Structure 1
Amino acid sequence: TEDNIDGYGITMAILYLVVCILGLAGNSLVIVAILKLDKMSSSTTVYIFNLAVADGLFMVGLPFIASQNFQNHWMFGDTVCKVVMVLDGINQFTSIFCLTAMSIDRYMALADPLRFARWRTPRWAKIVSALLWLLSLLTILPMALHFSAERGLCIPDLVSDAWWLGILSYTFVMGFALPFTVMTASYAALLLTLRARRLRAPPVNPESHRLERQLTNMVVAVVVVFGVCWLPFYTFNFCSLYQTGMVLSFARAFEFVVLLSYSWSCANPILYACLSDTFRRHFRTLLCPAAKSSPSMQCNTERYDLNDTGVRDVTILA
């Protein structure tokens, strides 16, 4: 009924608003923490900074998408449609590319830190990040410019089914399959390296076991959350090729998986900042200034001393 449709639309509009607020707040906190407290002191925080900027800007396009879904009409004009889609795509791909670069950075930092030290400076990370923004622009531009609002909705101007299938395949490979493969391979190689090192020379300090356990949990979180948030989005896009008419149930489900893909940007501050002892301390400083003067509120940071590898004070992400 019409009431049910309105109720569903209102619910989705509220969810979009919640995701947008949480995404902006979480990523803004990460940005402030890095600029004010960390000052980009490592390659990892450079990547996290660019990830947070991309995720935060990704949220900016959410109200436009939510408005179209709620009203079933694009009210901002053709130019704004193209601009929003280009910026949306750039931030989406930059976020994913930064995430992929971080997985390689994590491997170099923990598998063989001395060997890769000169490639893990903040200067190199800034150069790589700039190249990733450029790559994102080049990757998304061909598809984003084909979006048009001439028919009342900001949707791609389909040249043909074959053309759209090619675009979907291209974005799926660049935006999901390739990054997912690199991330999985990097983290798998890292876990295997740490395990082999532990078997060759069992550490005297059992605390190093906690590093592997925490790292394993992080790997599972990264792979699962990335897959859960993005795989349904691409699956529904491919399925849309075989929809003769936009069935209401399919349209609703598609609207939900779009929201799910945006919600991934809310998860990043949790997965890539809160898993870091350094960022937990930064957040405590920003959100609870009294913690600096009250011993009872001091953050209990967990540090790892890898005596068997010669690496001291290693944290998961900083």
Structure 2
Amino acid sequence: MATFVSTETPVLYGSPPSPVMPTPSSKLSISHQIGIAILVIAFVFGFPGNLFVVWSVLCRVRRRSVTCLLILNLAVADALVLLSAPLFIRFLSQSTWEFGTTLCKTVHYLCCVNMYSSIYLICLMSMDRWLAVTKPFLSQRLRTKKRLLSVMLGIWVMAFLMALPMPFYRSSLMVRPNVYICMPYHWKDSAHEIFQYLWETVLGFLLPFTFILFCYISVICRLRSAMFQRKGRGNFLILLIIAAFTLFWLPYHLINILQVIGLMQNSTSVLKVAKVARPNVTAFAFMSSSVNPVLYVFAGSSHIRQAGLGFMAKLFEGTNSESGSTRTRSSRGSNAESSVFTKLSVKLGRKGDGAGADPHEETMADLNNRDEMKTLTTLH
């Protein structure tokens, strides 16, 4: 992720650009005021909202589904990244970074970890829906707590590894006497800049989003069949989360692509547009960490009157019954088929044993057998 501070520079690479920063005694610019307002809203609503989600899952939900546990991980990631909001608010209000290079690298690294962990947790949600609908028996075998915890741990480790380029391309630099800016720095080499932004966009958006689209296109096609007419709350919640992530992160990754195009084509006008827009889209992406609790309130509004503060627990518990009902619908046909075969075996066995039976009873048995065979044919 990039800094919240606007920069104006026509050069492709070289010495650190001089940001457009007001002196500490001057009035804050409009862009700084907007940035502060966005961060305050994100922190005030997002931090307690995500803590409420964590409390609801840990203390109020009795049976935690896969979707519920993934939502818990998302809330923890968002709450941690929102802890950095007061630092950025202070930075924008004072027009200087007062916290040193180490904290500059750390907070941006955690923001980048949040981006990767969020999108890949959403990928896991999508894959879980895809397995539950298209391969219910395999889903039932794979849906164990041990496997789920292992996969989530793997996602967190992968997110921390993928975000490693961020601290290498971030530093607190002095732009004027006693004025420090936490800003991107690529060691006077445009190749490093191209690598960073392509790395973020390809691994943090294009690849996982393509996988999510594949999963949900398959799910939608499957749900159109006669046995899967009912959509569950889990699907609705996950679609809301995907839509929110796309809305807030797509502009950021479009600016990444635009800046890479400007660097590769040596176009100063394209670069200027990208660098002017980057602080705004970065602040907009920051809002993604605070919007999910609002979505849960919207999705669970029908439970508020009945459950009070436990309405979110009711919402998350609703995702637990969906996977079970999907598997039940899938197995209903095979259970009925097994029942028919059992009845046929019993009746045919009785017919073979009753050599001296009454002819009328034997005729009735034949009729029953023909009825059972018709039922079996219908099931197929």
CA RMSD of aligned residues (A): 3.5
Aligned amino acid, residue 181 of structure 1: T
Counterpart in the other structure of 1:25: 48
Counterpart in the other structure of 2:182: 154
Counterpart in the other structure of 2:195: 166
Q: State the distance in 2 between where 1:44 and 1:99 align.
A: 10
Query: Which structure has the greater CA radius of gyration?
Result: 2
Contact 1:33-1:282 within 8 A present in 2 as well = no
> Does residue 258 of the first structure (1) align with residue 282 of the second (2)?
yes
Counterpart in the other structure of 2:206: 177
SS in 1 for 2:163: helix
CA shift in 2, pair 1:283/1:134, >3 Å: farther
Deviation at 1:39, TM superposition (A): 5.5
Deviation at 1:270, TM superposition (A): 4.2
Deviation at 1:250, TM superposition (A): 6.6
The residue correspondences of 1:285-300 to structure 2 (distance < 5 A) are: 285=307, 287=309
Aligned amino acid, residue 168 of structure 1: Y
CA shift in 2, pair 1:35/1:215, >3 Å: closer
The residue correspondences of 1:129-144 to structure 2 (distance < 5 A) are: 129-144=152-167
Q: Which runs of 5+ in 1 are unaligned?
A: 290-300, 312-318
Counterpart in the other structure of 2:117: 94
Counterpart in the other structure of 1:74: 97
Contact 2:255-2:278 within 8 A present in 1 as well = yes
Contact 2:91-2:98 within 8 A present in 1 as well = yes
Q: State the distance in 2 between where 1:225 and 1:53 align.
A: 17
Q: State the distance in 2 between where 1:53 and 1:226 align.
A: 16
Deviation at 1:64, TM superposition (A): 2.4
> What TM-score do you get using the length of structure 1 for normalisation?
0.76
SS in 1 for 2:138: coil
Deviation string 1:74-110 (CA, Å, 9 cap, x unpaired) is 1111111112122222222112211111111121223
Q: State the distance in 1 between where 2:110 and 2:86 align.
A: 14
79, 82, 87: which is aligned to 1:56?
79
More moved, 75-84 vs 116-125: 116-125
Deviation string 1:14-62 (CA, Å, 9 cap, x unpaired) is 2210112211122111111110022562222221111110111121222
> Does residue 124 of the first structure (1) align with residue 143 of the second (2)?
no
Q: State the distance in 2 between where 1:216 and 1:47 align.
A: 13
Deviation at 1:285, TM superposition (A): 4.1
Aligned amino acid, residue 232 of structure 1: P
Q: How many pairs align? A: 287
> Does residue 103 of the first structure (1) align with residue 126 of the second (2)?
yes
Q: State the distance in 2 between where 1:179 and 1:51 align.
A: 16
Q: State the distance in 2 between where 1:288 and 1:33 align.
A: 7
Q: State the distance in 2 between where 1:246 and 1:64 align.
A: 31
Counterpart in the other structure of 1:65: 88
SS in 2 for 1:149: strand
Contact 1:40-1:46 within 8 A present in 2 as well = no
SS in 1 for 2:113: helix
* Higher RCO (CA < 8 A, seq sep 6+): 2
Q: State the distance in 2 between where 1:42 and 1:48 align.
A: 10
Aligned amino acid, residue 309 of structure 2: L
> Does residue 115 of the first structure (1) align with residue 138 of the second (2)?
yes
Contact 1:236-1:254 within 8 A present in 2 as well = yes
CA shift in 2, pair 1:112/1:119, >3 Å: same
Aligned amino acid, residue 251 of structure 2: P
248, 255, 268: which is aligned to 1:236?
255
Deviation at 1:122, TM superposition (A): 2.5
SS in 1 for 2:330: coil
SS in 2 for 1:150: strand
Counterpart in the other structure of 2:246: 227
More moved, 146-155 vs 47-56: 146-155
Counterpart in the other structure of 1:297: none
> Does residue 309 of the first structure (1) align with residue 337 of the second (2)?
no
CA shift in 2, pair 1:163/1:250, >3 Å: closer
Identity %: 24
CA shift in 2, pair 1:223/1:50, >3 Å: closer
Q: Which runs of 5+ in 2 are unaligned?
A: 1-21, 175-179, 312-317, 333-380
Q: State the distance in 2 between where 1:215 and 1:46 align.
A: 12
